[in-house]
Amino acid sequence: MRIEIVCDVKTTLGEGPIWDAEQERLYFIDSFDGRIFRTTAAGGEIRAWDVPEKIGSMALRKDGKGAICSLETGFYALDFTTGDCELIHNPEPDRPNNRINDGKVDRRGRFFAGSMDTLEEGRYGALYRLDPDFSVTRIDEGLICSNGPCFSPDDKTFYFSDTWSGEIWAYDYDIETGTPSNRRHFGAVDGSEGGGSDGSTVDSEGCLWNALVYAGKLVRYTPAGAVERVIDMPVKKVTSMAFGGPNLDILYVTSMARPPLPRFPGDGIQRGAVFAIHDLGITGLPEPRFGA
């Protein structure tokens, strides 16, 4: 196994890596600075787009026109050509201290993203589904910091977490209707070093990977929820990950340069970089696009 820095733009809060298998490009975001970045597999040809607010996550669209973004005040559509970013829907106009956070697309083109309390204290967040027709459905609620949505390879399980709950949840998933149900405990999160569950992805073997933010670890869980391995990263504030590269065998990991709140720890000189982990002997799955 080999870990290297692939792109070092010092993201204030790097998040949401996505590998575009069609164009062979890596996308990732800076949540606090409101920017989307795109690079090659090796970190070259960097391009960036500004969005008008803090951004929690993004999903590429099937029509090739741009991306769906979860911004501070709701779901937006970004046009990569013009740079225009237009509001689709604000699901929480009555909760000004919330922002929409992490999100992923299922294999029918639906975008799931949850909101969070910006102080990470109150249970004011909820989980939403944005359908290709731009309708929005509330799926779950009572969340502090929504994170880590992803799907099993057979589309029968939806994974999700509330960062400071100490666990990752599994739901039964109906791919025909886009409905998660029967929320239950999937895996325990080791918070002994002050870390919490952040972004997640699922590999081709059906194992779930989770970034243990503030503890500097990546944890791989078996489909049964047992810890299969733990990887120590060069920085503490790792935030999310995605498999990419031409063979989907490189694990890209984002990190943050500055913590969002003063109670969280600082980090070393490599903070805010995007890392690439090689030679894991594991491959990922192509990331679905939003749309019908």
- Known binder of ligand: residue 15? yes
Long-range CB contacts for residues 126-132, cutoff 8 Å, separation at least 24: 126/91, 126/92, 127/160, 128/75, 128/91, 128/100, 129/178, 130/68, 130/75, 130/88, 130/89, 130/290, 131/178, 132/290, 132/291, 132/292
Is the residue at 292 inside a domain? Answer: no
- Annotated ligand binding at 98? The verdict is no
Q: Which two tokens stand for residue 32?
A: 């606090």
Q: Is 239 within a domain?
A: yes
Q: Note the pLDDT of residue 119.
A: 87
Question: What CATH code is carried by the domain that includes residue 34?
Answer: 2.120.10.30
What is the average pLDDT across 266-282?
94
Residue 79, in any domain of the structure: yes
Q: pLDDT tens across 212-231, in order?
A: 999 999 999 999 999 999 99
In a domain, 290, yes or no: no
Residue 212, both tokens: 């243990």
DSSP 8-state symbol, 13:
T
Q: What is the pLDDT of residue 82?
A: 96
- Cβ neighbours around 151 below 10 Å, total: 23
Q: The tokens of 286 are what?
A: 């192509």
CA distance 257 to 267: 7
Contact 278, 263 (CB under 8 A): no
Going by C-alpha positions, the residue among 277, 127, 142, 146 that lies closest to residue 209 is: 277
CB 58, CB 71: distance < 8 Å: no
Q: Is residue 153 part of a domain?
A: yes
Answer whether 15's CB lies under 8 Å from 9's CB.
no
Domain span at residue 273?
2-278
Band (pLDDT 50/70/90 cuts) for residue 292 is: confident
Provide the annotated active-site residues: 198
198 is in an annotated binding site: yes
* The token pair that represents 219 in the structure block: 């944890």
Look up tokens 């952040």; give the residue: 198
- pLDDT tens, residue by residue, 253-270: 999 998 777 777 778 899
For a pLDDT cut of 90, what percent of the chain falls above it?
Answer: 92
The pLDDT tens digits of the residues spanning 119-175 come to 888 999 999 999 999 999 999 999 999 999 999 999 999 999 999 999 999 999 999
Overall domain count for the chain: 1
Question: Which tens digit of pLDDT belongs to each residue from 49-91?
Answer: 999 999 999 999 998 889 999 999 999 999 999 999 999 999 9
Domain contains 69: yes
Nearest to 287, CA basis, from 25, 9, 4: 25
Residue 135 placed within a domain: yes
